[in-house]
Structure 1
């Protein structure tokens, strides 16, 4: 059986330059599987998620590779057809619920408009679905929340609204872009448990973008480690935590807090490791430019 999402040899550049921001990225995800994209800030994790959803910044241009979604080659489709397919098939859980929600609009249309405008639902059917989803994400008094403005809700409640909105149309793929970063630790745990619960219930394929290996261990089956827009290691989660292969992955794991031993010293990523992986990126760029 072919993968539901396949990213093959994907490279993207900053328009007007030859600087690659994504470097020959390849991975695949099966239906119902969660893949973690892991790395430091600036590694290209969110950029990959945006490429899959067709929402890359205008200054970033894909120059090589393919994205296959549910048997369709997104990189060869007309833009209108691509938007229609992605709108019906995929959804995003963004990082910051405060900026992702429109502060001047009530919650109800922010959940229902996608169902009505993109998928052609009636307003009444979309409202019923929105109430069902707010119940599903464990929001008390969903009628009150639907009538509220974002500033009237807590951060955790706003994130639950975004999760409900993402799952409203039963997407086959969800990109979760560091969805717990803006939340405190207690709420983070609740939101992670909720995302995993909904993902498993709906057998949704998921790209989970995070810098936190602890989150990966709880949510994902496989992961890809990135540095400088390049995948340096792909692994199953158990194999990775039993012994990552790449020196950069080893350093990331060593720098992760041990929840079973909170007093253990943290080991920062050594400069020699950064130099090593940076040299791999430079070598990949020279090969891409056909330089000796």
Structure 2
């Protein structure tokens, strides 16, 4: 059986520039599996998620490769057909719940409009589904929350609303873009457990964008390590934590704080490792330009 999502040799660049921001990215995800995209800030993790969902910034274009979702090559589809497929099949859990929600609208339409406008549900059915999802994400008094504005909710409750919205239409794929970054540690654990439970219950394929290898160990089955828009290692989570193959991956793992040993010294990524990873990126660019 083929993978539910396949990204093959994907490159993206700024309009009018030869410099790529994504470099020949390839990976696949089966139904029900979670792939972690890890790496430092600016590595291209969120950019990959946006490319999959068709929401790249207007200044960036895909210049090479394919994204195959549920057997259909998105890059070969008409824009309207692509939006329709993604709207019916995929969903996003964004990073910052305060900016992701419209501050001038109550919570109810922010969950139900997608069901009504894209999937053709009646408003009554969409409202019932929204209440079910708010219960499912463990929100007390969902009726009150449905009538609230985002600023009237806590950060954890806003993130629960976004998770409910993402899973409302039973998507086959969810892109979670660092969904716990804006939350305190206690709430982070609750939200991660909630996402993991919903993902397993619905057998949803998931791309989980994070810089936290501790999160990867709890949520993901596989991971891809990025540097400079290039994947330097694809691995199962078990194999990665038993011994990463790439020097940059080993340095990232070594730099991860060890909560079982709070007195241990932090080990920053060595400059020589960064220089070697950057050299790989430059070599890949030279090869790409030569091939073009």
TM-score of the two chains, using structure 1 as the length reference? 0.99
Which digits, 9 at most, give the CA deviation of each residue in 1:169-208, with x for residues without a partner?
0000000000000000000000000000000000000000
The residue number in structure 2 matching 1:206 is 206
1:258 and 2:258 matched: yes
Instruction: Report the alpha carbon displacement of residue 19 of structure 1 after superposing the two structures with TM.
Output: 0.8
Note the 1:30-41 alignment, pairs <5 A. 30-41=30-41
Once residues 83 and 12 of structure 1 are traced to their aligned partners in structure 2, the CA distance between those partners, rounded to angstroms, is 19
Who is 1:278 aligned against? 278
Q: What are the equivalent positions in structure 2 for 1:76-95 lying under 5 Å apart?
A: 76-95=76-95
Q: What's 2:176 paired with?
A: 176
For residue 262 of structure 1, report the CA deviation from its aligned partner.
1.5
Post-superposition CA distance 1:210-254 (Å, at most 9, x none): 000000000000000000000000100011001101000000000
Structure 2 residue runs of 5 or longer lacking an equivalent are none
- How far apart are residue 64 of structure 1 and its match? 0.5
Distance 1:132 1:144 in 2: 14
Structure 1 Cα separation of the partners of residues 157 and 264 of structure 2: 34
Q: Describe how 1:138-217 pairs up with structure 2 within 5 A.
A: 138-217=138-217
**Structure 1 Cα separation of the partners of residues 151 and 289 of structure 2:** 49
Partner of 2:240: 240
Q: Distance between the aligned counterparts of 1:262 and 1:162, measured in 2?
A: 33
Mapping 1:61-100, distance limit 5 Å = 61-100=61-100
SS at match of 2:7: strand
SS in 1 for 2:256: coil
How many angstroms apart in 1 are the aligned matches of 2:194 and 2:158?
A: 13
Equivalents in 2 of 1:142, 1:218: separation in Å?
29
1:262 and 1:190 map into 2 onto residues whose CA distance is 22
Alpha-carbon deviation of 1:152? Answer: 0.3
SS of the residue 2:290 aligns to = coil
Structure 1 segments of 4 or more deviating over 6 A? none
The residue that corresponds to 1:53 in the other structure is 53
Matched, 1:25 2:43: no
Deviation at 1:260, TM superposition (A): 1.4
Give, in angstroms, the shift of residue 6 of structure 1: 0.1
CA distance in 2, matches of 1:94, 1:260: 30
Aligned twin of 1:288 = 288
Deviations 1:41-79 (A, max 9, x none): 000000000000000001000010000000000010000
Structure 1 residue aligned with 2:228: 228
Using the alignment, how far apart are the partners of 1:35 and 1:232 within structure 2? 15
Question: TM-score, normalised on structure 2?
Answer: 0.99
Match of 1:130 in 2: 130
Q: CA deviation at 1:263?
A: 1.3
User: 2:232, 2:44 → 1: CA distance?
Assistant: 12
